[in-house]
Every structure is written in C-alpha cells, then in structure tokens.
Structure 1
Amino acid sequence: MSTSTPNVRTGGIPRGLARTGPVLFSYGFRPFFLGGALWAIAAMALWIAALTGWLDFASEYGAHHWHAHEMLFGYASAVLAGFLLTAVPNWTGRLPVSGWPLFFLFLLWAGGRVAFLASDAIGVNLAVAADMIFLPALLYICVREVVAGKKWNDLKVTAGLLALSLANACFHYEVIMGEHPDRAYRLAIAAYVGLVMVIGGRIIPSFTRNWINKQGRTDFPVPYNRFDAASIAIGIVALGLWIALPESIVTAIGAAVAAALHAMRLFRWRGWTTFSETLVAILHVAYAFVPLGFLAISLSAIGLVDPTATLHVMTIGTVAAMMVAVMTRATRGHTGRELTASTLTTISYAAIVLCAFARPAAGLLPDHAATIYAVSGILWLASFSLFVVEYAPMLVKGRRW
C-alpha cells in the first residue's frame, strides 16, 4: 500500500493512488463506503437481535444507547469519511490519503466499532476511549489539507466535523453520567444536516446542471447566490435553537422559516426535470428531507409531532438517504462507470426513502409500532444490502479510467 507513486490523469488533479497493495486502500471512498455500508447492515441486525431478546450486549452502556450511537457515529461517520477523503483532494488540489495511512485511519474506525460492541468485556471507559480517536483524527486530516491548500471557504465543512466530534464526546459523557443524551443526539444530527445543506448546495445543482446539459437542454438550476447563503445561515440558527430549546415557540418559528427557505432552495434546483435518471433525482429527493426535517422540528416544538419521529425524519431521510445517494454516485464516478442508476440501485433508493417515511410513523401509530419497526428495519437492511451486493465489487477492484 505504498503512496510513493501517485497516479495523475492528464489535465486533472493528482489522485495519489497507491500502485501496490490492495486496491481497497487506494482511495478514501473505497474502504469507508464499504465498511460503512456493512456496518449499517450489521448494526441494524444486532439491534433487531437485541430487541427480540436473541442477543445481549453493551448492557452496561445500554443497548438502546449503543444503537443510537452506532447509527449517528458508527456507519454514518465512515460514509462521511469516505466522502471527505475523496472530495477534499478535489477541492484543494492536494494528494489524497492513500495506502498505509488510509489503512491505519480505517483501522481506527473499525477498532472503535469492535471495542464499543465488546464494552461489556473490556469495560465502558476503554471502549469509549477507543471510539473517540477516529473523528478527531479525521478532523485533523481535513483541516490540515484545507489549510495547506488555502481553501479557507471549505473550513465551514470542517466546522461540521468538529461539531460531530464534540457531539460524540457529549454523547458518551451523558450516558456515563447516567443521563439521556438528548442534546448530543440533536447536536450530531444538526452537524450532519448542516453538512448536507452546505455540501448538498454544492453538488446537487452541479450534478443536475451536468445532467441537463448532457440532454442538450439549458433549463439549468439557479446558481448559488445570496439566497442560498441566507437559507444555510437561517437553517443553522434553527438547528442551534433546536439543540438548546427543543420545545420553544422561538424554535418552532425559526424551524418553520428554515423549512420554507429550503423548500424554495430545492425548487430552484429543478429536480423534477431529472426524474428519468434516478442517480440524479435521488439527490433532490434526499434533500427534500431537509425542509421536511425542519417542519418536523417546528411541529415537535409545539407538541404536534413526537420528538423521536423528528429524529428519524432527519437521521433516515436527510442523512441516510443522502449518504446512499452520494455513495452510489461517487462510487460509479470514481471507478469510471457510467453515471446511471441500475435497477438494483433504484430499488435501494426506494427502500431507504420508504424507510424514512415508515420509521417516524411509529410515533403517530403507536398501536402498530411493532409492525412499523419490523418494516422499517427490513427496508433499511434491504437498501444497504443492495448497495453492498452491487457496489462492493466496484470498491475492491481496480479503477476503470
């Protein structure tokens, strides 16, 4: 896994691909997309086993807390790492992390998952210590690259990663102190949503414009302007209010305004024109959960929606659906495949979107909660399993430039 001889495409950015060693560790998206998807499957299967009484684990930490943690900081942090380790070199023009450094970074993430799952055997404190290494390490790498590349505008992305690292520490602290980590939940979700607002606003109109242009049309999305900046700023304020004052009328008003602005922002990207290509359309569908999430926050703040339903609208809809969308698009693009969704990919999209609608419904239909839990779990497993079936071979094999 040597990094001494990077590959360079003519006229492009040097990619730093390792010429020796496993292809899996030649580029950040490869191990982290695959590892993240596999852990999304395994963590959900373990949680279902715990709910049904088949397995007993993380009893000292709390299996319920373990589940929430591994959804927010386990699989999701891996997918985020895969994206950032691939995108940041594009933004900065610097070589990506590859070979042995990438292997050791992945080992930090995987070691955290194993240690945390084995917390009853090794002790909660040691498990927490092992888990808390990865996100700061990823943050350091991203800040180092952004600063070295003098891409100061991209520091706002590292701010989201910093918030996520702090949320992870707060989560562990609150659980160990015997408290429910509600505020840590909200901080972590806010960090992901903030990243979706910022990065989504960069890639969704860009990919949409490219696709529309390829069709020979000119009805492009509205370019980034002050409206987008204002929408992001108000969205961040609304998320801050939600973290601090989840049941305040001020939060309800702020989130309602943010919902309206982000719905308008999404409309300006003309997503309805892309529905013939689900690889592009899913980005718009996933982003639609941003205004839906803000609407859920607003209604939850005044007691009309269950707070747990609000969490799942955002964690499954905004976060997981966008991650599945980005993983499929980035994998196809960076392995030289055609940028079009297969039947399996489209089914995977449908499953995660249906899961995003199904799981929050448990709070609205408590008499059918058990059935809803089962259905949403199956949909989650189906989405990520289909991703692994189709995309694992692309991730572990050589590129096709």
Structure 2
Amino acid sequence: MRGFLAIIFAAAHRLLFLTGVLNFAFLMLWWTAALINLYILPFGMVSGAVPATFLHAPVMLYLMLPAFFFGFLLTVFPRWSGFADLQRRQYAPIGSAFFLATIIAWGALIGDNALWLVAALAIAGLGWLIALWHLAVILAAETRSDKGPTWHAWSAFTALCLGLSGLCFSAYFLLTLDGRAYLLANSIGTFGFMLPVFLTVVHRMIPFFAGNVVAGYVRWRPYWVLALVWVFLIPLMLAPIIDSAQLQFIGALALCMLTAIMLWRWWPRGDAPGLLMVLIWGFAWAPVGFGLIALGHYAGLSGFDFSPGKAPVHAIYIGMAGSLIIAMVTRVTQGHSGRPLTMNRAAWIAFWGIELSALARIVAGLRGEHGHWLVLAGIIWILLVTPWALKQARIYLARRADGKPG
C-alpha cells in the first residue's frame, strides 16, 4: 500500500489526472446508457426527483473538468510565477478530495440519489478551496516580489473562483430544484470557468510549444487578447440574469472573430509535430462554437427559421474541450512519465473519436436534439476514447518509464 501511495502521490497531476480520465470514461458510459434508456430501449434505469438530463452538465463541469484543470494548474502555476513546485503535503489532499468525490458521485448517478451528488460536490468543493488557497499564496508571494504580475495565472485563478461559485449554485439546484440556480450553474461553469481556463492556457501554451518545435515560428500572445476574452464572455456568462439576446449575440460574434484571429496567428506555417497540431485543430472548434451561438441569437433577433438546439455549446464542450483534453493530457502524461513527447496510437484514435462524437452531437442539435444521433455521439466516445483513458490510467498507477522521480 505504501508503494502504491508513493506512486500516486509522486507528482501533483497523477491522482487528479487519474480521476479525470476515469470520469472521461465512466461519465460518458453512464450518460450514453441514460440516452439509450430514454430514446431507444427503456431498460428500467433508475430515475428519481432529478432526471439524468439535469445531472449531466453538473458532473461534467464540476467533477470531471476540475480534476484535469487542477492537475495541470497545480503543476504549472508555480512555474509560471517563478516559484518552486508544490509539495506532496500541499497537493495530496486536493487529489484525494476529487477522487473521493468521484466515487461518491458514481454511486449517486447509478442510484439516482441527488443528496449523494450534493455530498460529492461538497467534498470536491473542499478540495477546490484547498487548491485555491495554495494558488492564492503563490499569487500573494508574487505580488510581494518584483516578479509579477503573471496575467495568465491571475486569469486562471479568477476562472477557478467563478467555477467554485458555479459548483455552489449546482449543489443548491440539487437541493431545491430551483431552475434559475441550474441555469446559473451551467452558464458560470461554461462561460466563467471552463472557457476562461482553456482560453487562458492555450493563449500561453500554444505559442510556447510552437516556438520550440516549428522553425521560424513567431510567438504571438498579446495580453489584450486575454482581456477581450473576459470582456466578451461576461454577457454570455450572465445570460440567466441579464436576458439580452443583443448582448449575447455581440459577445458570441466577437469571440468567434477573436478566436478565429488567434487560430490564424497561431497556425504553424511550417512542419509541425502531431502533438502540436492536435492543439491547433482542437482549438479550431472555438470559432465554430461561438459562431453557432451567435447565429442562434441572430436568428432569434431577426426572426428567420434556424434553431441550433444545443449544437453550439457542444461544439465547445466536446469539440474544443474534449480535443484539448486529449492533446494536453497526452503531452503532460508522456512528458512526466518519461515517455517520448509524441501522439501514440491510442491518443490519435481518441482525438479523431472526439471529432466524430462532436460532429454527431452537432447533427443531433441541428435536428431538434434527435435521440439516435445523441446515442451515436456517446457510442463513438465509448468505443474510441475510452481505450485512451484507460491507457492513461495505467500510466498514473506505474512508476516513470525512465526511473526518475515524479
């Protein structure tokens, strides 16, 4: 047991990424089963006071994604600010909280027990608070020194704080079934937490990675881009409170154009390895998703017949977020386990599986949330992405291939 704990707590990302990839596999298996039960073949799946369709977003946004985010940010955050890595005593409680929360959440989903899910979110929230404390200490130390400010760190920290507030709204919804709380939890989780973290990280990392591996590459990451991302996300995040289709249209259209500019400036003009290109291709879903959001609002404002359903946000959830998780987790896992920095076969299959799943989910939205297309999106994910997730899990449970610590 001591040897197992030494392995799983050897680095900040190990237990958190293990939690994330297990959720990457199990949550989609649960969700696909719920879709089959709902649209194709009812087989008596338990259904309680809160339908599975209202549990899908909270567990993805506040249990799966944070495990990946904290696994990455607890590793790079100190380095961004020029400080030493976090110690085991600092990151071990965080990973443990999210892993325990995940186990409880799985039981809650299988048994359709909303109170268990609230308990899972509470435990995850405790780990979240501990993580925020350690990150805040780093930012405070940077403020006292002559190093700062590291705007990427501040941007990510702001998104994590908003994410914790969204988790609280999600728990409140599960306790009260307050519809406004549900809308706020999803809106904050998407536009105040998930997207700012991803856009902050790619703004820093894509130019950095590309500059190291592409000959003649010119790094471009002005801070005004990061500022505009936040400005234009605000009306989308506050949509349940400020019901203004005009503001949401402007915000989405601006983000479509801004992310398209980012994609154009970051695209390598020379030969680039697959591990970089999957980041670029994954990010390409951002202008697509924001464009569809803008088109949906424009249709509502102008009165022409177009209803994209949930296709726009799933272009972002599955297309962008899923692709970037495959790309970045593969990179971190390969590098921190003493393996070559390349896309292996399982990673390539998973990446293209995400693309196919995203396309199927978008078709479902454009066809009025068609049940068969929803199920197809889930089945593609299970068949093509799950093997990658299990491969990553085995790596986190083993020592580094090169024998080094970490």
- TM-score in terms of structure 2 length: 0.83
Matched, 1:179 2:178: yes
Paired with 2:131 and 2:175, the residues of 1 have a C-alpha distance of: 24
SS at match of 2:284: helix
Aligned position for 2:207: 205
Q: Which moved more, 1:74-83 or 1:116-125?
A: 116-125
Partners of 1:248 and 1:121 in 2: CA distance: 36
| 1:123 partner letter | L
In structure 2, C-alpha distance between the alignment counterparts of 1:292 and 1:76, rounded to whole Å: 21
Cα shift at 1:349: 0.8
Deviation at 1:376, TM superposition (A): 0.9
Q: Residue by residue, what CA displacement relative to the aligned partner does 1:338-395 show, whole Å, maximum 9, x if unpaired?
A: 222122211111111222222122121248x232122211222245423234333432
Q: Is the 1:355–1:380 Cα contact (8 Å) retained in structure 2?
A: yes
CA shift, 1:63, in A, is 2.2
Q: 1:34 to 1:273 in 2, by over 3 A?
A: farther
Of all paired residues, the percent bearing the same amino acid is 23
**1:34 equivalent in structure 2:** 18
One-letter amino acid of the structure 1 residue matched with residue 138 of structure 2? E
Q: Which moved more, 1:226-235 or 1:284-293?
A: 226-235
2:100 matches 1:136: no
Of the three residues 45, 51, 68, the one matched with 1:62 is 51
After superposition, the C-alpha distances for 1:145-181 in whole angstroms (9 at most, x for unaligned) are 3323444322221000011111111122234332331
Task: Report whether the alignment pairs 1:364 with 2:361.
Answer: no
Counterpart of 2:334 in 1: which secondary structure?
helix
Separation of aligned partners in 1, 2:12 and 2:240: 31
Alpha-carbon contact 2:62-2:121 (below 8 Å) kept? no
One of 281, 284, 307 as aligned partner of 1:285: 281
- The structure 1 residue matched to 2:115, chosen from 101, 112, 123, is 123
Gaps of 5+ in 1: 3-18
Q: CA deviation at 1:117?
A: 4.0
| Structure 2 residue 149 is matched with structure 1 residue 160 | no
Deviations along 1:289-310, whole A, 9 cap, x unmatched?
2212211221222333434222
SS at match of 1:133: helix
Task: Name the counterpart of 1:250.
Answer: 247
Q: Provide the residue aligned with 1:321 in structure 2.
A: 323
Aligned counterparts of 1:130 and 1:58: Cα–Cα separation in 2 = 24
* Contact 1:23–1:398 (Cα < 8 Å) also in 2: yes
Tell me the residue number matched to 2:374.
373
Unaligned runs of 5+ in 2: 301-305
Q: Is the 8 A contact 2:279 2:327 kept in 1?
A: yes
Residue pair 2:19, 2:102 contacting (<8 A) in 1 also: no
Separation in 2 of the partners of 1:188 and 1:114?
21
Secondary structure in 1 matching 2:371: helix
1:294 alignment partner, one of 275, 290, 294 = 290
Aligned-residue offset at 1:100 = 4.9
Q: Which whole-Å deviations, capped at 9, do the CAs of 1:65-96 have from their partners, x for residues lacking one?
A: 22221111121111111111111132234343
In structure 1, distance between residues paired with 2:119 and 2:174: 14
Q: 1:75 to 1:364 in 2, by over 3 A?
A: same
Q: Which residue does 1:47 correspond to in 2? A: 31
Aligned length: 378
The answer as to 2:266 corresponding to 1:269 is yes
Query: In 2, are the aligned partners of 1:248 and 1:301 still within 8 Å (CA)?
Result: yes
* Structure 2 Cα separation of the partners of residues 307 and 133 of structure 1: 35
Counterpart Cα distance in 1 of 2:212 and 2:121: 44
Give the whole-Å Cα distance in 2 for the aligned partners of 1:113 and 1:241. Answer: 28
User: In the aligned structure 2, how far is the partner of 1:22 from the partner of 1:243?
Assistant: 46
- SS where residue 248 of structure 2 aligns? helix
Q: In the TM superposition, what whole-angstrom CA distance separates every residue of 1:184-226 from its partner, at most 9, and x where no partner exists?
A: 21211112111122111110111111110xxxx21x1442225
| Deviation larger for 281-290 or 376-385 | 376-385
Q: Which amino acid aligns with 1:45?
A: L
CA distance in 1, matches of 2:359, 2:165: 29
C-alpha separation in 2, matches of 1:92 and 1:57 = 48
Q: Which amino acid counterpart does residue 188 of structure 2 have in structure 1?
A: L
1:14 match: none
Q: What residue number does 1:236 align with?
A: 233
Counterpart position of 1:170: 169
Runs of 4+ in 1 over 6 A off after TM superposition: none
Q: Please, what TM-score do these two structures have when normalized by structure 1? A: 0.84
- Deviations along 1:72-127, one digit per CA (max 9) or x if unpaired, are 11211111111111111322343434435433322211222233344466935545
Shift of 1:60: 3.4
Change (3 A) 1:148 1:279: same
Contact 2:278-2:327 within 8 A present in 1 as well: yes
Residue 194 of structure 1, aligned match among 196, 214, 217: 196
Question: Post-superposition shift, 1:61?
Answer: 3.7
State the one-letter code of the partner of 2:293: I
Contact 1:33 1:79 in 2 (8 A): yes
What does 1:69-108 correspond to in 2, within 5 Å? 69-108=58-97
CA distance in 1, matches of 2:284, 2:225: 15
Using the alignment, how far apart are the partners of 1:104 and 1:341 within structure 2?
31
Equivalent residue number for residue 16 of structure 1: none
